[in-house]
Structure 1
Amino acid sequence: MNRIAAVLLFLSMLPPTLPGEDAVQLKWEELPALPDALGFAGPFVGVHPIAAADPQAADEVLIVAGGANFPAPVWENEKVWHDRVFVATKDQGTLHWTEAGTLPRPLAYGAAVSTPEGVLCLGGSDSEQTFRDCFLLRWKPQSKQIETIDYPPLPTPCAFGAATIIGSVVYVAGGQSDSALSSAMNQLWSLDLSLKDSPESFQWRSLPDCPGKTRALNLTVSQHNGFESCVYVISGRRQEGDQTEFLKDVWEYSPSTQAWRKRSDAPRSVMAGTAIGFGQSHLFVLGGDDGELFGRADELKDDHPGFIRQALAYHTITDTWTSAGPTPINQVTTIAVELDDSIIVASGEVRPRVRTPSVYRVTPVTSTHGFGGLNYVVLFGYLIAMVGVGVYFANKNKNTDDYFRGGKRIPWWAAGCSIFATMLSSLTFTGVPSKAFAQDCVYAIGNFMIPVVAVVAVFVALPFFRRIDATSAYEYLEKRFSRRVRMFGSASFALFHLFRMAVVMSLTGLALAVATPLTPSQSVLLMGILSILYCTMGGVEAVIWTDTIQTVVLLGGAVVAIVLLVSGCEGGFGGFVESVTRADKVNVANLHFDATSGRTALWVVIIGAIGQNLSSYTADQAVVQRYMTTETQRLAARSIWTNAVLTIPATILFFGIGVALFAFYQSHPEKLDPTITTDQVFPLFIAREMPIGLAGLIVAGVFAAAQSTVSTSMNSTATAIVTDFLRPQQVCSSEAGYLTAARVLTFLMGVAGTLLGLIFVDPNIKSLFDTFIAVIGLFMGVLGGLFILGALTTRANGSGAMIGALLGASVMFCLWRFTPLNGYLYTATGISTCVVAGYGASLLLPQADKDLAGLTIHTLGEAA
């Protein structure tokens, strides 16, 4: 133990992979200015996507409408309100402005949000009054003019407020109801744009007021907080008597619970500023007035230095603020919008009475960190070694029994490690920590169901498969039901694993893009090609031994990672405990009955986990195949128990890493890269904080974990096709022919999975864990249902089983496509639907009695 502790201490003192600039950096680029010499304060700004309406036109246009300014000389003239509308089209990375009409009246200081239909303008004021009008500005590319469409008015007049949109729902917070700041409000209104065809429902709703103080000139933005997209109300200004108060508090509103939560204050007041959600969990505040020179405008006049030029970044998950670097200008009383994956800030006020026509494009910049030569050596050395394993076992495969079952000579402990690695996958290594980082440890309870299901696997499923000496798990379905059910089950399995390969490779490629110089597509190609090489050559024996090596590497790497994370927290272990306790990151149970909530209920986790694991340990060829690689049933049972035992410390480790990541980045928010996804947070730590060499080994291990999952799917799918389709039809004339067919099919499955993986690369996926769980549920529920129906009943027959399977598949598709049900329940729903419908159909469509000796729990003791 002392030696291990010394090694870990030594590793923690090694330098990280390569030093780099940690602070969040923004690139500011000036674009063509607004075609007005003065510019405007308080304009309505938004983006109208028009590609769907006119495929020949530009896909998005920037709209700037209304606003107010002071004609020069600004200290000698009164404020003037405007009604002009400017539209900027895109061409070769720049903007081309045109004047495209007018507003219904001169108007400024309202709120605006970008919608698929156009820019929705809300409230505002002129020199005499404040309005409650709402209208949509739509760009008509044919006439090159703006169209105005009236929308339901706000509940009360409102100016100097701010709005945001989540999905189809618009939210308006803060503002003042007349020209006096003392009329500032703390209301929250919402309008669901999806109801616009139902006039009686298409009205503004009053939601719970913000618990903070009344405010105007506040910032209102939306962003995901790890559980759901929320509304954030930040800073503002209010007046009490003769005193003006500059606020810096932050409030978060949950649309699902309609509850407010206080968050960490901004470092300073940013009233009247521009803010926008960017990426998956960051907010940027690009401008704002800190109030230091408020009240001195008449004294300073042209000597006023302007508002503070410093951007801020807020991370919604860790609830932390950090600097986002200096800004070339501070434009207040305008609206920041997203255009082409960048942020646009148009016009606005730069100091009292002075506006600007300037338009800036702001782009978050990924800080540059090299991967390091030693990491490259370790990474490619490890991957080449895995291919070497395939080459080593290539000559040991004399027939399909060797290729598919390793000649039943695999040690039980290696088979157990292979089951563990197959169920683990690279997504566990990246997806589970990111889930705990973003949320909590609720899903850990699901993994603790594996030892429970292991009892069923050992004492129910295993005897069936060993009794019939199955190579394919779906041989059981033919003996129990019919050839048709067997082929359906085998085809469903093959389809599932084809998608599983694609999902694992694409999501792993996305997660590792931040840790290596490889693009997601290049990572997918690397994983796919190497998997095809060693799996096609070495068969299941190569797969199992690479799985075993990978198990040691990943678990060892996880231990080192959690030590480095905890020691890197501010305050060490004590700071780590305080941070995760305060944020309730070790929560393991949400006690409610909502099956659609982002805060997953305990009963959903338990039922969902039992369903998923029952299907995997009874109906997944990739797992069942491991049962058949050991010499005896007793040794196969040991392999199952080995996996169950490994699951407990692995669960604690991987969820512990996620919790430790939260504490580490809460201590060091400047190290979070706003350009990454939440699922890339652990690879980010590996690449930038782990010692050189070790980072390469862990990244290689993640690659190998993905390859293990992919190679398992390739081999198992080829096994199912050869055993369930080719052999029954006697397609080949010799054992050598079937071995060749197995290798060809393994190769083809690998190529197909890799190509699908390239298609599936999608950086907008919020959670690898959730996506993977949904994919498992959509396919494995029916297969698990078929095995349970066959094993637990004696009256179920082939026709009833097919009806149950088809109905179960239909129900799961509908749940996925048309309901917000938590994907964790898909498998359990599929199992129950298949069993109930299959049994009922069997009673309605009875068939001739079939010999069920040894094929159900009721006849297991009978002679086969």
Structure 2
Amino acid sequence: MKLLRLISTWLLLISTPILIHAGEKNQLNLKWTKLSDLPALTGQSQALGVAGPFTGIANNTLIVAGGANFPQPVWETEKQYFNDIFVLELSSQSDSLRWIKGNFFDQPIAYGASIETPYGLLCMGGRDAEQVFDSVFLLNWDNQENRLTRSELPSLPKPCAHGYAAIIGNTVYLAGGQSGPGLESAMKNFWMLDLTPFQQENDTSTMHWQELPSWPGPERAFNITVAQHNGQENCIYLISGRRLKDAGTEELQYNFLRDVYEFNPSIYKNTQKKQSAWRRRKDVPVCVMAGTGAAIGQSSIFLFGGADGSLIYQVDKLRDRHPGFPKKAWAYHTITDTWIEADSTPVNQVTTRAINWGDKVIIPTGEVRPRRRTADIWQVQLEEKPYEFGLLNSGTLIAYLLSMLLIGFYFARRNKNTDDYFRGGQRVPWWAAACSIFATMLSSITYMAVPARAYATNWEYLLGYPAIFITAAIVVYFILPFFRRIDATSAYEYLEKRFNRLTRLVGSGMFTIFQIGRMAIVMYLSALALATITPFNEVEAILAMGLLSIIYSTMGGVEAVIWTDTIQTFVLLGGALLILFFTLFNIDGGFSTLLSTASEYGKFHMVNWDWDMHSYTTAAFWVLILGSLAQNMISYTSDQAIVQRYMTTSSEKLAKRSIWTNGVMGVLAGLLFFFIGTALFVFYQTHPAHLDPTFKNDSIMPLFIVRELPVGIAGLLVAGIFAAAQSTISTSMNSTASALVVDFIRPFITNKSDGYYLNFSRSFTFCFGLLGTIVAVLLASADIKSLLEQFFAFIGLFGGSLGGLFLLGMFTKRATGRGAFTGAIIGVIVLYLVQSYTDTHLYLYTFVGVSACFVGGYVSSLLLGGAKSDISGLTVFDLKIKK
């Protein structure tokens, strides 16, 4: 009771900060930098610039090819088309950029579409004064020989000019345009070219353009086409454009379009109703025909210019008094389907492209008003808004972190032997064990990622949570009795009794390696989010989480871990409730607006009744149920971090109660987190100016915490993110130490005092915690990050097999050690093949691994045989289920 009073007092103190607002609302600021001027073209003494060039970046070099302009005096001359090609090496400093004159095209050409690909700048269509072309080719700059290369590709299905292209992976999409010199030939073309064959020794013989269903709107040219992620998939966005009005409708001839459409390639691929891949999105506030657009961040599209058509019928009257196209940028958010005015711009260049270059955008040359081009090359960058975490937030966070150390000191004096250190002397209350299981399985990644998933998609993944109850029933009635019966400190003791020592050592060893990786990944991914909202950088956040967890875990053992988990459960769940409260409080109309807006956008959609032959690639109902069941079975049967909690209570009855309680907590928490994600969607859908494109989608909850919540409350909720991370980290430290001592030290170093093994336990806890922290710091290094990610992906293959071994031992009589070991290898191989060569949904990976190990192990046992051993009481067939 004394400890509970301390916990209650601590929570009260840090939960009552002064309600000062955390920060100002977000404003988007675009930084424009002039890079260089396009040189004068052939036959012209001045650098006038061009409109409609093929332009893009290849080998870190900007290419500007072809284009058209009006020679001086512009109102007395005809439009002139060019075949000049210029390149600009962007790797140099901006004050020393140097243009190089490239080759010439065979003929003058302009107003084609171009897009960067892994193989060069793809150029499509185009026109001159008399005709429109259907040619397609790749341009590439050879940095060694300073020359431009050209590779011919299959022609377009029709000639096309004034269209716009985008790319997803190896697939290029070309939308809109006109097939003849006049706008009356505007098309509803939507063409696709798969460049994969070109990757195979430049083979173009099997490449061809495919005509896809077009958008559910009118034909057009001068549209904008951009590829961006919509929270679920990478999609193509068709924006604005211009067409002739239907004959006889009005005197004015042009129809200035503001409509927006989204094409989802995954829906097109996996459904029979191909047209359903298109859906209408919110109109852009003004027409932005012939404008420039680029994807910025994970789910934003910025339009840096475009013509609104407001003065198009006064061009001849205004001439050089024309003010130019509106100097205004727009931002569209694909998840919330909202438009905002992004920022004013120094110039509005149309009939050119906005080219992504790292976190910057290059906008070369283009038209700034009728008949006037510009030679300017601009670089645009979205500036990150600095955030001051503040003294009160910092104080709240520090108070939490120091309190974790105090708990470690408190329990250090209670550890007399390894039973105290690893099982808490079996004196842990059942509800604390339940909280520890809950906190262990709920890492900071889940704490942030689940609301982020609901924010970006819908409630489909909530269906996986009821599988916890199915798992809990299986564990309570079939699995828990095995561990209690053998009085296990390590889960892998069962594998030796059921199979052989080799299986135990392999299982324990794989668990240890996996947990080191898990610690590192949890710390690293949590640090990525924390570094954007706290005074810590990534490495400092990793060190804060890792070193503090090492201290209290090493000193206090499993009791310290369980009680800190319990506090962290209250912190993170209390924090989640506060986020939901403040989100609803800041939504105009509150709960009713949340329900209506979320329903309008399908955010409460929960069941995907997909049973066709491709459903294994989607979040179908059966995929989520089987995948969640397998994931939970692995955790509850083969994860020492969870099994260890079974053994800290004083009786099997109380252990069962902790498992059921954790199940209830897990489902309720899942519902809470999904509701938070939906509330965040509605908040940002109704307050789009508060979104920050520089934040990743998975950091939407941290963004809300630091930008929308009162100071002090924000600090408390950031502590909740730390809490979710530390609960996973500290548990991994203690459980790996217990596995190593019990499975590798005690069996081989015998006849030692318990104090001897206790010292080993503390040393292992410290060493593995330190190792996990070091690996997390290495992950933050770009040089080694990809190598470590591949290693952890490989280690992850063994999780399914580990769970399969336990189920094989418990639910079969004829499985042998030799067969089990073979089954584990089969499980790893099958899962690797499924991951590498199929489109199977990742939720099914664990189910595939468990099933392959179970079936492969059973069949191998029948074929290979093995030494007979006494398995009495080690299978469910000998188990008497207690009510």
TM-score with structure 2 setting the length: 0.92
User: What is the aligned partner in structure 2 of residue 65 from structure 1?
Assistant: 65
Moved more, 603-612 or 751-760: 751-760
- 2:396 alignment partner, one of 373, 378, 402: 378
Contact 1:87 1:99 in 2 (8 A): yes
- 1:568 alignment partner, one of 579, 586, 593: 586
Contact 2:387 2:533 in 1 (8 A): no
Contact 2:823 2:857 in 1 (8 A): yes
Q: Distance in 2 between matches of 1:204 and 1:421?
A: 52
1:16-46 Cα deviation digits (max 9, x unpaired): 2122x51222111111222231011001111
Contact 1:507 1:761 in 2 (8 A): no
Q: Distance in 2 between matches of 1:779 and 1:382?
A: 36
The correspondence of residues 363-374 of structure 1 with structure 2, limited to 5 A, is 363-374=381-392
Q: Distance in 1 between matches of 2:363 and 2:69?
A: 17
- 1:125 alignment partner, one of 101, 110, 127: 127
Gaps of 5+ in 2: 1-11, 41-46, 269-276, 784-788
Q: 3-state DSSP class of the match of 1:32?
A: strand
User: What is the aligned partner in structure 2 of residue 190 from structure 1?
Assistant: 192
Does 2:255 match 1:253? no
1:759-799 Cα deviation digits (max 9, x unpaired): 334999xxxxx999989963321111001100011100000
Q: Distance in 2 between matches of 1:597 and 1:199?
A: 32
User: What is the aligned partner in structure 2 of residue 53 from structure 1?
Assistant: none
Contact 1:777 1:823 in 2 (8 A): no
User: What is the aligned partner in structure 1 of residue 311 from structure 2?
Assistant: 293
Return the offset for 1:137: 0.6
Q: Distance in 1 between matches of 2:733 and 2:794?
A: 17
Return the offset for 1:814: 2.2
Contact 2:18 2:711 in 1 (8 A): no
Moved more, 21-30 or 355-364: 21-30
- 2:447 alignment partner, one of 418, 422, 429: 429
User: What is the aligned partner in structure 2 of residue 80 from structure 1?
Assistant: 80
Q: Distance in 2 between matches of 1:704 and 1:375?
A: 15
Q: Distance in 1 between matches of 2:205 and 2:616?
A: 28
Q: Distance in 1 between matches of 2:255 and 2:563?
A: 67
Return the offset for 1:598: 7.2
User: What is the aligned partner in structure 1 of residue 767 from structure 2?
Assistant: 748
Structure 2 CA distance for partners of 1:436 and 1:13, relative to 1, 3 Å: farther
User: What is the aligned partner in structure 1 of residue 809 from structure 2?
Assistant: 790
Contact 2:184 2:244 in 1 (8 A): yes
User: What is the aligned partner in structure 2 of residue 101 from structure 1?
Assistant: 103
Moved more, 119-128 or 841-850: 841-850
Q: Distance in 2 between matches of 1:337 and 1:461?
A: 58
User: What is the aligned partner in structure 2 of residue 347 from structure 1?
Assistant: 365
Does 2:662 match 1:640? no
Q: Distance in 2 between matches of 1:11 and 1:182?
A: 67
1:805-861 Cα deviation digits (max 9, x unpaired): 011011112222333211111111111111111000101122232111110011235
Return the offset for 1:193: 0.4
1:355-394 Cα deviation digits (max 9, x unpaired): 1111111111122331121000000110111122112212
Contact 1:14 1:691 in 2 (8 A): yes
- 2:242 alignment partner, one of 199, 218, 237: 237
User: What is the aligned partner in structure 1 of residue 845 from structure 2?
Assistant: 826
Return the offset for 1:722: 1.0
Q: Distance in 2 between matches of 1:568 and 1:775?
A: 44
- 1:44 alignment partner, one of 54, 59, 63: 54
User: What is the aligned partner in structure 1 of residue 640 from structure 2?
Assistant: 621
Q: 3-state DSSP class of the match of 2:873?
A: coil
Q: 3-state DSSP class of the match of 1:517?
A: coil
Q: Distance in 2 between matches of 1:103 and 1:853?
A: 83
Q: 3-state DSSP class of the match of 2:711?
A: coil
Q: Distance in 2 between matches of 1:172 and 1:163?
A: 4
User: What is the aligned partner in structure 2 of residue 838 from structure 1?
Assistant: 857
Moved more, 520-529 or 532-541: 520-529
Return the offset for 1:519: 2.4
Aligned CA-pair RMSD: 2.1
Moved more, 186-195 or 641-650: 641-650
Q: Distance in 1 between matches of 2:672 and 2:446?
A: 11
User: What is the aligned partner in structure 2 of residue 143 from structure 1?
Assistant: 145
Contact 2:19 2:712 in 1 (8 A): no
Identity %: 51
Does 2:565 match 1:547? yes
Contact 1:777 1:824 in 2 (8 A): no
- 1:28 alignment partner, one of 32, 46, 58: 32
Does 2:482 match 1:464? yes
Q: 3-state DSSP class of the match of 1:587?
A: coil
Q: Which amino acid aligns with 1:429?
A: Y
Moved more, 568-577 or 713-722: 568-577
Q: 3-state DSSP class of the match of 1:443?
A: helix
Q: Distance in 1 between matches of 2:602 and 2:538?
A: 33
Q: Distance in 2 between matches of 1:804 and 1:716?
A: 25
Q: 3-state DSSP class of the match of 2:797?
A: helix
Contact 1:235 1:269 in 2 (8 A): yes
Contact 1:227 1:598 in 2 (8 A): no
Q: Distance in 2 between matches of 1:649 and 1:228?
A: 28
Contact 2:17 2:711 in 1 (8 A): no
Structure 2 CA distance for partners of 1:776 and 1:457, relative to 1, 3 Å: farther
User: What is the aligned partner in structure 2 of residue 54 from structure 1?
Assistant: none
Q: Which amino acid aligns with 2:89?
A: T
Contact 1:221 1:276 in 2 (8 A): yes
Q: Distance in 2 between matches of 1:45 and 1:570?
A: 45
Return the offset for 1:425: 1.4
Structure 2 CA distance for partners of 1:731 and 1:308, relative to 1, 3 Å: farther
Aligned residues: 838
Q: Distance in 1 between matches of 2:166 and 2:580?
A: 38
Structure 2 CA distance for partners of 1:773 and 1:757, relative to 1, 3 Å: closer
Structure 2 CA distance for partners of 1:732 and 1:424, relative to 1, 3 Å: farther
Q: 3-state DSSP class of the match of 1:367?
A: coil
Contact 2:17 2:712 in 1 (8 A): no
Q: Distance in 2 between matches of 1:529 and 1:85?
A: 57
Q: 3-state DSSP class of the match of 1:514?
A: helix
Return the offset for 1:562: 0.8
1:133-192 Cα deviation digits (max 9, x unpaired): 011111011221111111111000000000000000000000000111010011110000
Contact 2:232 2:456 in 1 (8 A): yes
Contact 1:612 1:780 in 2 (8 A): no
Q: 3-state DSSP class of the match of 1:314?
A: strand
Does 2:728 match 1:728? no
TM-score with structure 1 setting the length: 0.94
Return the offset for 1:496: 1.4
The correspondence of residues 189-228 of structure 1 with structure 2, limited to 5 A, is 189-196=191-198, 197=200, 199-228=204-233
Gaps of 5+ in 1: 1-6, 50-59, 765-769
Q: Distance in 2 between matches of 1:412 and 1:431?
A: 28
Q: 3-state DSSP class of the match of 1:498?
A: helix
The correspondence of residues 734-813 of structure 1 with structure 2, limited to 5 A, is 734-761=753-780, 778-813=797-832
Structure 2 CA distance for partners of 1:597 and 1:262, relative to 1, 3 Å: farther
Does 2:551 match 1:533? yes
Q: Distance in 1 between matches of 2:491 and 2:583?
A: 42
Does 2:34 match 1:16? no
Q: 3-state DSSP class of the match of 1:703?
A: helix
Q: Distance in 2 between matches of 1:398 and 1:13?
A: 43
Q: Which amino acid aligns with 2:712?
A: G
1:644-681 Cα deviation digits (max 9, x unpaired): 12112211110100011100000111111111110010
Q: 3-state DSSP class of the match of 1:833?
A: helix
1:261-292 Cα deviation digits (max 9, x unpaired): 00000000000000011111000000000110
